[in-house]
Structure 1
Amino acid sequence: MLELVFATNNAHKLEEVRAIVGDAFVIKSLNDIDCQDDIPETGETFEENAQQKTDYLVNKYGLYCFGDDSGLEIDALNGEPGVYSARYSGSRDMEKNIDLVLEKLGDNPNRSARFKTVISLYLNEQQHFFEGSIEGQIIKERRGVDGFGYDPIFIPDGYNTTFAEMSAQEKNAISHRAIAVGKLAQYLKTK
């Protein structure tokens, strides 16, 4: 069975990816390979950051791996927070990050946004990219307790609940990460 290292120690991301991929592949985390390194994310795009993660693992460990970068792009904020989503407020405190988004948006009627994920896969000496995105709206107050990140303020188009109000199964069926991971899994099935 094919083993891949997912360049993350984020338990939420790992759980989502493993749920989407199922038993088709063995997905290991950085912890599973005893990597506690702070892998750089200095790119200006999701693609660059995702590739930095795979390049790092390939160069240090020589393993088949994939990395992702995800974020929230808000139209009224010119695509912010974008690649800075995890540290938008200057820290990794998601409550502060959400507060800053809501403060910057204020009463702006344009609440359109999207979550975007780009996955970089290194397999058989080749790099591949898979992208997923989901359009939605930013609401004015937090709703829900599940999920993570900006989930409490994001309602996907066609729904009336935030990602944080959805079950993991509901979110995994439609999320940006689910779309990208689905493309990754389809590709891997051909290998």
Structure 2
Amino acid sequence: MDTRTLVIASGNPGKVKEFEGLLRDLPLKVQAQPEGLEVEETGSTFSANARIKAIAVAAETGEWALADDSGLSVDALDGAPGVHSARYAPSDPERIARLLRALAVEDNRSARFCAALCVATADGTVLLEVEGHCKGRITRSPRGHQGFGYDPIFEVNGTEKTFAEMSLLEKKAHGHRGRAFTMLEPQLRQLLSQR
């Protein structure tokens, strides 16, 4: 199989690094999207936003692009922050602080992460779309130093660990992005073998 370039449709270095780890066994040259490229996420679902980003970045770079849109939905907040997870506050620490304030007197801490993945080509063709989920609860304070985003306050059901306390391997096994990737990988491998 020839090595194909796959552009990760994200400016988030943590997300690009995570995908590099997930994709390392495939015949791909993984790279981040061009610096300064901003794609407006106008979709009302994670899947719609992933599709918008993958198509835009593939068109811009002339390469296949893999986008994900993921976020945290908290039951006690009627699913918020949801598709606005990344825009809930200006920075990760501020997003965490705002969410913990919103849940300060709330006993129902149940939440779930969702990750929608989309691979698109430069001509706008959507090759693959999958969605993965992970259930857990919001902790009362941050724990751990791995990961990014809401990882320090999301404890995965059945593990007693936050994503920020997990190794990359554990996160791949338990996480929403890892679960979505588990669905995506065999389909992507098959596509690569056909081209």
TM-score normalised by length of structure 2: 0.88
> Which residue is 1:29 aligned to?
32
Paired AA for residue 87 in structure 1: R
Are residues 1:18 and 2:20 paired?
A: yes
> Which residue is 2:104 aligned to?
106
CA–CA distance in 2 between the matches of 1:172 and 1:107?
Answer: 32
Please give the secondary structure, in 1, of the residue aligned with 2:38.
Answer: coil
CA–CA distance in 1 between the matches of 2:148 and 2:61?
Answer: 30
Residue pair 1:21, 1:182 contacting (<8 A) in 2 also: no
Please give the secondary structure, in 2, of the residue aligned with 1:8.
Answer: coil
What does residue range 35-184 of structure 1 map to in structure 2 within 5 Å?
35-89=35-89, 91=90, 93-123=91-121, 125-184=125-184
CA–CA distance in 2 between the matches of 1:59 and 1:21?
Answer: 21
Q: Which moved more, 1:69-78 or 1:138-147?
A: 138-147
Residue pair 1:72, 1:114 contacting (<8 A) in 2 also: yes
Please give the secondary structure, in 2, of the residue aligned with 1:121.
Answer: strand
Residue pair 1:145, 1:152 contacting (<8 A) in 2 also: yes
Unmatched segments (≥5 aa) in structure 1:
none
Unmatched segments (≥5 aa) in structure 2:
none
CA–CA distance in 2 between the matches of 1:10 and 1:94?
Answer: 12
CA–CA distance in 2 between the matches of 1:163 and 1:82?
Answer: 18
Residue pair 2:7, 2:58 contacting (<8 A) in 1 also: no
Residue pair 1:70, 1:116 contacting (<8 A) in 2 also: yes
Cα shift readout 1:101-157 (whole Å, capped 9, x = no counterpart): 111112211111011100111148344211111000111111111111111111101
CA–CA distance in 2 between the matches of 1:39 and 1:59?
Answer: 12
Please give the secondary structure, in 2, of the residue aligned with 1:143.
Answer: coil
Please give the secondary structure, in 1, of the residue aligned with 2:10.
Answer: coil
Q: Which runs of 4+ in 1 moved over 3 A?
A: 123-127
Please give the secondary structure, in 1, of the residue aligned with 2:117.
Answer: strand
Instruction: Give the CA deviation at 1:86.
Output: 1.2
**Identical positions, percent:** 38
Paired AA for residue 39 in structure 1: V
CA–CA distance in 2 between the matches of 1:12 and 1:186?
Answer: 24
Cα shift readout 1:53-96 (whole Å, capped 9, x = no counterpart): 1121233333211211110010110110111111213x2x1111
> Which residue is 2:4 aligned to?
2
Residue pair 1:117, 1:180 contacting (<8 A) in 2 also: yes
Residue pair 1:58, 1:65 contacting (<8 A) in 2 also: yes
Instruction: Give the CA deviation at 1:35.
Output: 4.5
CA–CA distance in 2 between the matches of 1:22 and 1:38?
Answer: 26
Q: Which moved more, 1:142-151 or 1:20-29?
A: 20-29
Aligned-CA RMSD value: 1.6
Q: Which moved more, 1:122-131 or 1:96-105?
A: 122-131
Paired AA for residue 63 in structure 1: E
**Equivalent residue pairs, number:** 186
Q: Which moved more, 1:5-14 or 1:75-84?
A: 5-14
Please give the secondary structure, in 2, of the residue aligned with 1:187.
Answer: helix
Paired AA for residue 46 in structure 1: F
